[in-house]
């Protein structure tokens, strides 16, 4: 029996794969997607994991990158027709501190600057200057993040940027891209609380304050949230993949869940088909596109024509793991620092850059951190539709946590496997939150804990519970993501492509790799 044939076969239905499928479908390609799990969207997923009626984003929550992406600009009307809607947050993030104070960023520049000025007028003035310069800066830095990592594309980008901004700006920007968060923040600001508030964004992407290359994330997140706010998905982050899937199916694309790709067929030089877990063989005329980790793709192909690629794909390093704690609540936390904190999408509990560095070092050493960095998400403060009337959902990202536990930095938890360590470590996290918001435990209706081991079982791309699918350190980013010479989503096999967070431009919800590859394949 002959194989069913499509122009493109896509392995996995993460949001990058969905973006690629929609664009290729719009260009007239026949497309089929096969997802091993029972849901589409990859890490962009929402479910009632705590109690009926309480909808929790299981991993990715912030859809700002997607909303501001070139892909969304191209398909906004079509996606809106299929139900894609956003819940804007005018108060995107804040940090609470042990002394009962807080500092936050809202789209009201005067309000943000007033909070900073109470700590340092010089810092408030510098913040305003950064905000004023950001639209022009973002145009060029964003241009880099949306440039394929190919020689020709990079040369064109560098030439355009040199003509527009000059060599001095390019050198200063290169310095920032190589700087640690601490080095850059110490150059720009003087107050430690402001620095901690901004540096906490580096911890979302494997950058403790001392790690080189981390400065760009505190800068971009702080300025973008100040200028544009944050956007969540109306009703849950899964509103995005659901709309993408509906648009793909309307254009004739095929999406199957609960069926895994077990092998990528090739003739030694070119990918030709995939074999599914149910025995079917699906042929690809033009492309096989994988939304997997680099190592998982080599498992599917077997040895490729480039042994260096195979070895480096298998050596692709994950970031430290994450624990997620999802809570159904009777009411939002009563923050000691002030009730205004209830209005922010994210509240970071990361009191200093030193505390962040310590938690990172402990986790990298295999120890349960004494005091992990906590990102407390309050989505129902922005979007009440995610919970029954008057109730709330809360999620806590615990950064960082080791996949393999070698010990407890605090000396209290004896367990070295997550099945036994989950409860006491979650209690440590809740104890930390209680110090900032007394009485939280009395508000909990139900909870759901996802350890690093749980996250990897849920989504195999999250190796070791790494929610960003691979460290973003300089040695594994830009031209080296995932392997030098293959940062353009190519592989040693013709017609076989790799997309997703493990590839350029990395983690987040911007759909950059899927859209840029699809544009390249379809001739824009």
Nearest to 472 by CA among 425, 429, 421, 508: 508
Q: What are phi and psi of 175, to 5 degrees?
A: -60, -45
How far is Cα of residue 65 from the mean position of the Cα atoms in its chain?
Answer: 9
Mean pLDDT of 457-477: 96
Which CATH number fits the domain that encloses residue 294? 3.50.50.60
**Residues 278 and 272: beta-carbon distance below 8 Å:** no
> Is residue 355 left, alpha or beta, with left meaning phi > 0 and alpha meaning psi from -120 to 50?
alpha
98-142 pLDDT, tens digit per residue, is: 999 999 999 999 999 999 999 999 999 999 999 999 999 998 998
**pLDDT (0 to 100) of residue 2:** 61
Asked if residues 89 and 225 have their Cβ atoms less than 8 Å apart, the reply is no
- For residue 266, being part of any structural domain is answered with yes
Mean pLDDT of the chain: 97
Q: Structural domain of residue 57, as residue ranges?
A: 4-87+236-316+470-522
491/317 Cα distance (integer angstroms): 18
- Is residue 325 included in any domain, yes or no? no
Cα–Cα distance between 200 and 351 in angstroms, integer? Answer: 9
Query: What is the pLDDT averaged over residues 362-378?
Result: 98
Query: In this predicted model, what pLDDT tens digit does every residue of 313-329 receive, in sequence order?
Result: 999 999 999 999 999 99
Averaged pLDDT, 192-197: 98
Q: 399-408, pLDDT tens digit by residue?
A: 999 999 999 9
Query: What is the three-class DSSP state of 435?
Result: helix
Does residue 277 form part of some domain?
yes
Which tokens is 473 given? Answer: 């350190």
Mean pLDDT of 483-504: 98
* Residue 88 reports pLDDT greater than 90: yes
* Mean pLDDT along residues 366-395: 98
Please answer whether residues 238 and 48 qualify as being in contact, where contact means their C-beta atoms are separated by less than 8 angstroms. no
Within a domain: 283 = yes
Whether the ω angle into residue 40 lies within 30 degrees of 0, i.e. cis, is: no
With respect to residue 386, please indicate whether it lies within any of the assigned structural domains: no
* Helix-then-strand count for the chain, H and E: 16, 20
Asked whether residue 1 carries a pLDDT value surpassing 70, the answer given is: no
User: 109-117 and 121-145 are packed helices; what angle lies between their axes, rounded to 10 degrees?
Assistant: 130
Number of domains present in the structure of the chain: 1
Determine the Cα angle at 100 with ends 394 and 189, to 5°: 95
97 part of a folded domain: no
- Residue 49 covered by a domain: yes
The Cα–Cα gap between 474 and 477 comes to 5
Q: Is residue 415 in a domain?
A: no
* Region 45-58 average pLDDT: 98
State the CB neighbour count (10 A cutoff) for residue 515.
23
pTM: 0.96
Give the pLDDT confidence score for residue 3 in this predicted structure: 81
- CA atoms within 13 A of residue 160's CA, in its CB half-sphere: 12
Over range 409-431, report the average pLDDT. 98
Residue 343 has pLDDT above 80, yes or no: yes
Whether pLDDT at 443 is above 90: yes
Classified as helix, coil or strand, 31 is strand
């Amino acid at each position: 029996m002959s194989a069913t044939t499509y122009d493109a076969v896509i392995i996995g239905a993460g949001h990058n794969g969905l973006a690629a499928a929609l664009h290729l479908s719009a260009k007239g390609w026949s497309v089929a997607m096969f997802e091993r799990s029972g849901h589409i969207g990859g890490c962009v997923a929402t479910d009632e994991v705590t109690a009926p009626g309480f909808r929790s984003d299981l991993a990715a929550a912030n859809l700002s990158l997607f909303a501001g992406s070139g892909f969304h600009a191209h398909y906004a009307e079509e996606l809106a027709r299929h139900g894609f809607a956003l819940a804007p947050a005018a108060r995107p993030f804040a940090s609470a501190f042990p002394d009962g104070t807080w500092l936050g960023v809202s789209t009201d520049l005067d309000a943000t600057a007033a909070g900073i000025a109470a700590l340092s007028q010089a810092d408030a003035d510098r913040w305003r200057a950064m905000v004023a310069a950001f639209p022009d800066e973002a145009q060029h830095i964003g241009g880099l993040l949306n440039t394929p990592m190919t020689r020709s594309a990079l040369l064109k980008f560098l030439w355009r940027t040199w003509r527009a901004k000059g060599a001095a700006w390019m050198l200063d920007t290169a310095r920032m891209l190589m700087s640690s968060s601490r080095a850059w923040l110490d150059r720009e600001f003087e107050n430690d609380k402001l620095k901690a508030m901004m540096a906490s964004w580096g911890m979302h992407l494997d950058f403790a304050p001392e790690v080189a290359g981390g400065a760009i994330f505190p800068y971009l997140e702080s300025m973008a949230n100040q200028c544009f706010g944050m956007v969540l998905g109306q009703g849950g982050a899964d509103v995005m993949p659901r709309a993408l899937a509906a648009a793909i199916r309307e254009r004739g694309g095929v999406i199957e869940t609960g069926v895994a790709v077990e092998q990528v067929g090739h003739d030694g030089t070119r990918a030709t088909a995939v074999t599914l877990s149910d025995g079917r063989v699906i042929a690809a005329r033009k492309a096989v596109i994988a939304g997997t980790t680099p190592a998982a793709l080599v498992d599917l192909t077997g040895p490729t024509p480039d042994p260096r690629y195979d070895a480096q794909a298998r050596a692709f390093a994950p970031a430290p793991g994450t624990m997620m704690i999802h809570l159904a609540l009777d009411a939002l936390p009563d923050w000691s620092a002030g009730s205004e904190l209830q209005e922010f999408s994210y509240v970071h509990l990361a009191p200093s850059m030193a505390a962040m560095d310590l938690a990172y070092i402990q986790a990298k050493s295999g120890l349960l951190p004494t005091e992990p960095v906590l990102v407390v998400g309050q989505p129902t403060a922005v979007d009440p539709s995610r919970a029954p009337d008057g109730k709330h959902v809360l999620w806590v990202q615990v950064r960082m946590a080791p996949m393999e536990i070698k010990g407890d930095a605090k000396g209290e938890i004896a367990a070295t496997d997550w099945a036994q360590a989950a409860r006491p470590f979650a209690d440590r996290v809740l104890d930390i939150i209680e110090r900032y918001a007394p009485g939280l435990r009395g508000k909990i209706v139900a909870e759901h804990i996802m350890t690093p081991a749980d996250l990897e079982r849920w989504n195999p791309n999250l190796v070791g519970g790494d929610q960003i699918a691979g460290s973003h350190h300089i040695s594994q980013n830009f031209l080296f993501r995932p392997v030098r010479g293959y940062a353009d989503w190519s592989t040693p096999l013709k017609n076989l492509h790799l997309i997703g967070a493990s590839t350029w431009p990395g983690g987040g919800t911007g759909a950059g790799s899927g859209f840029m590859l699809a544009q390249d394949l379809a001739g824009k």
